[in-house]
Structure 1
Amino acid sequence: MLYEPVKTFVQIRKPDPKYQIGSGLVERIAKEIKENEIDIVVFGNQLSPSQKYNLAKNFKVEVIDKIELVLRIFYKHAKSREALLQVRLAELKYELPRAKEKVRLAKQGEQPGFGGYGDYEVEKYYQKVKREINIIKSKLEKLKKHRENLRKRRGNFDTVGLIGYTNAGKTSLLNALSGDRKEVKNQVFTTLSTTTRRIRGIKRRILITDTVGFMDDLPPFMIEAFLSTIEESANSDLILLVVDASDSLEEIERKLKVNYEVLDKINCKSPIITVFNKVDKITYEKREEILKSLKRYIVNPIFVSAKYNINLDKLKEMILENLNLSIGTVETDNPKLISYLYENTEILEDVLEDNKHIITFRAKEKDVNRILKAVRV
């Protein structure tokens, strides 16, 4: 946890151009800060630089909004070089339209959160931010090409991508399907880097990939900053869209919409299985209500519990059924071909007749056609 919440204030009114909130509430919060020695104030609404400056002037402590809080959480969990670059890109894209105003305000007098900006010339700082954005984009593009090369080397594997809202249990599901022990925390954005593992207990070479989770109400620039890692999952042969079944129906509906918006943005065409995780936390009636009320948003639904291994074998069966696989049969006594089939396809049946193996196998359609063509030659 970055910060320990002390008190929450809610005000429903038209946003004040100077403070975002009314001046009366500003006074109440300033008093609360002094009495409880509060270090920082976080706003759920997005603040303009001038609103932050005016609030910090009254509160005498740093003021940030929801976007800046999310960026700080991102930084806390970013481990890989790519994740750090993506967080920095999101931060700079947030900074760019505010850069000139921040510098002007800093020159009026230092306030918490504005330290250092006054050392810059307005236009020079703006151009500095733009240059850094372009440099980071170039570095991320190189890392993207590296990942594409890695994907090509995995040609013998089917790929499954985990997509879903943050804290839906994607990492827990990755662990349950792969037998991995990747750290799981009940916090948002604990996964920023791409993690790929092999699914165990299944007669196919299938890789499953987990990456950053989605969140509603985030501005487009933040989603765009992480598109490269999201694409790593979305470009898979099959998508597991992971949903927290214990959320309210309204929450589930909103989060599903966010998922589909992002998948549409990156032009994802892969088949989808909707995995409702944490089924151990809901009743049978809630399950039926989800299926009935949210039917228009659900594709190939299954209810599982990654924590208690509920329905995971059935999920593996669904993964096989939805991987767009084909079935082929060959008759051979070639030990190299038999070995290849056992290592690279799912063997459905192997019958020995007249010293020849009649093998029925399942694989990607292009691989089945290639194998059958090679046998006929």
Structure 2
Amino acid sequence: MNPYQELVTDSSRNVILVMRTDPDSDSEDNRRKLQEFCELTKALNDRVVDVITQERYPDRKYNVGSGKAKEIAIAARDKRANRIIFYDPLSTSQIYNISKLCNEAGASCRVMDRFQLILDIFAQRATTHRSKLQVELARLRYELPNARMLVSLSKKEERAGWGGLGDYEDSYEQDIKKRIARITAELKKADLEEEARRVYRHKNGFFIVSLAGYTNAGKSTLFNALVDEQTESKDMFFTTLIPKTRALVINKRKILLTDTVGFIEDLPHFLVDAFRSTLEGIYFSDMILLVVDFSEPVEHIRKKLMISHETLWEKSTSNIITVLNKSETMKPDERKKKLRELSHLIYNPIFISAKTGMGIANLIDEINQNLPALMTRTISLPNDERGASAMSWFYDNGVVEEILYGKYMTFEFSAAEDVMSKADDIVSKAQ
């Protein structure tokens, strides 16, 4: 029996997964990648009916060897597969060659690679206009390098002579480039609007905290626990594609908490580029909560932490708290042993269980201690209507301590530096 078949149920599509590994690659790492590959199909509710592997260097025509390619085609026919998905990126000609073998064997299925699978997942999860544009941009950038080959192969039977489709190929390629330019311009405008919102939030006293980490680490469950809200938190990759932001207050500090898209190994560059504005929401946070599934084997955690840090260190200068989720699944001694082995990759560790609530109070304390320091100064406002109106601004944008009433209302006001810079204007208008 296929050990991965039980991963998904009630499926509408039968899928065969193909993974070729280099002879000198690490076998344990390959097993981890294969398990993750199978989990990706769960995000589309597909049913894995077979997993075919081969250890060899890539073949130019099929990626796998010719004998293995024929075996795949026969398996697709016998198991009525709707899709054959390769872990490795496939060229347009490789997809054509494998599809031709399948047709000759009597199988009718789509041949694709892991990158196309991820694109399909993102396309299914995109619900806003902006996210749909980002997915389309990623798909177009994926197709562009092979646009000419795609037309040549799809129209092969219609070719009148050598080079007969040249004009059509050029037109198709130019259409893709024009569409990419239009989407890029539209997304750039949306990015400027998002940046303006971030600046506005900071100026109005909000601290920005982002949840980040490898996909399926439990970010959405932690988000629910912190803001007391229910968002989708299935045991599935990429449940959060569109960032969700909610407000909460910690020790009188106003915080905007954002749940973001998860990281994944070997994420195609065209997809990263399309969603760069989403990642920049993490980069410009005051703090990042790096969520880790601490119940996994040490080597899996190490690899995922390295991928997460590579993504975060590209631009981020934010404080990082490493949230070691699902820690309730192991004994304290086991947690400490894992932490020692991974100490070089873990900063400000907090053991929690987003599911049971264990350690959430400690995490909230850690967030409060690691947020940027507040500036504090004494404010005096006239004890009249104008002063009372100005007082509401101070309550809305910082922390107001006990007020002493007399001719003036005097109090200690604490806020971030960019908010404090506006305090003098508010006081002068109230005089």
TM beyond 0.5 = yes
The secondary structure found in structure 2 opposite 1:11 is: strand
Matched, 1:206 2:258: no
| Worse overlay, 132-141 or 32-41 | 32-41
1:146 CA drift (Å) = 1.4
Alignment of 1:289-308 (within 5 A): 289-308=337-356
2:185 pairs, out of 90, 115, 138, with: 138
Cα distance change on mapping 1:343 and 1:294 into 2, 3 Å: same
Q: In structure 2, give the amino acid aligned to 1:15.
A: P
The secondary structure found in structure 2 opposite 1:232 is: helix
1:311 pairs, out of 339, 349, 359, with: 359
Equivalence for 2:199? 152
1:321 pairs, out of 361, 366, 369, with: 369
Query: Is the Cα–Cα contact under 8 Å of residues 282 and 316 in structure 2 kept in the other structure?
Result: no
Q: Find the aligned partners of 1:65 and 1:8 in 2 and give their Cα distance.
A: 14
Equivalence for 2:142? 94
2:87 pairs, out of 31, 44, 51, with: 44
1:280 CA drift (Å) = 2.0
Cα distance change on mapping 1:331 and 1:39 into 2, 3 Å: closer
| Worse overlay, 86-95 or 27-36 | 27-36
Cα distance change on mapping 1:178 and 1:120 into 2, 3 Å: farther
1:355 CA drift (Å) = 9.3
Structure 1's unaligned 5+ residue stretches are 111-117
Query: Is the Cα–Cα contact under 8 Å of residues 178 and 200 in structure 1 kept in the other structure?
Result: no
Structure 2's unaligned 5+ residue stretches are 1-43, 104-108, 159-164
Cα distance change on mapping 1:120 and 1:305 into 2, 3 Å: farther
Q: Find the aligned partners of 2:374 and 2:129 in 1 and give their Cα distance.
A: 39
Q: In structure 2, give the amino acid aligned to 1:12.
A: E
- Residues 323-366 of structure 1 deviation map (CA, whole Å, 9 limit, x = unaligned): 1122525375756366544443235x537698987755543244
Normalising by structure 1, report the TM-score.
0.88
Matched, 1:271 2:319: yes
Q: In structure 2, give the amino acid aligned to 1:87.
A: V
Cα distance change on mapping 1:119 and 1:6 into 2, 3 Å: farther
Matched, 1:104 2:159: no
Matched, 1:20 2:66: no
Q: In structure 1, give the amino acid aligned to 2:299.
A: E
Matched, 1:364 2:422: no
Query: Is the Cα–Cα contact under 8 Å of residues 379 and 413 in structure 2 kept in the other structure?
Result: no
1:67 CA drift (Å) = 0.2
The secondary structure found in structure 1 opposite 2:54 is: coil
Aligned length: 368
- Residues 195-223 of structure 1 deviation map (CA, whole Å, 9 limit, x = unaligned): 11012564211111122111111222221
Equivalence for 2:245? 196
The secondary structure found in structure 2 opposite 1:5 is: strand
Cα distance change on mapping 1:311 and 1:98 into 2, 3 Å: same
User: Identity of aligned pairs, percent?
Assistant: 38
Q: Find the aligned partners of 1:373 and 1:195 in 2 and give their Cα distance.
A: 33
Matched, 1:6 2:49: yes
1:246 CA drift (Å) = 1.8
Equivalence for 2:402? 350
Query: Is the Cα–Cα contact under 8 Å of residues 382 and 407 in structure 2 kept in the other structure?
Result: no
Equivalence for 1:115? none
Query: Is the Cα–Cα contact under 8 Å of residues 41 and 62 in structure 1 kept in the other structure?
Result: yes
Matched, 1:84 2:127: no
1:89 CA drift (Å) = 1.0
Cα distance change on mapping 1:50 and 1:38 into 2, 3 Å: same
Normalising by structure 2, report the TM-score.
0.78
Query: Is the Cα–Cα contact under 8 Å of residues 239 and 271 in structure 1 kept in the other structure?
Result: yes
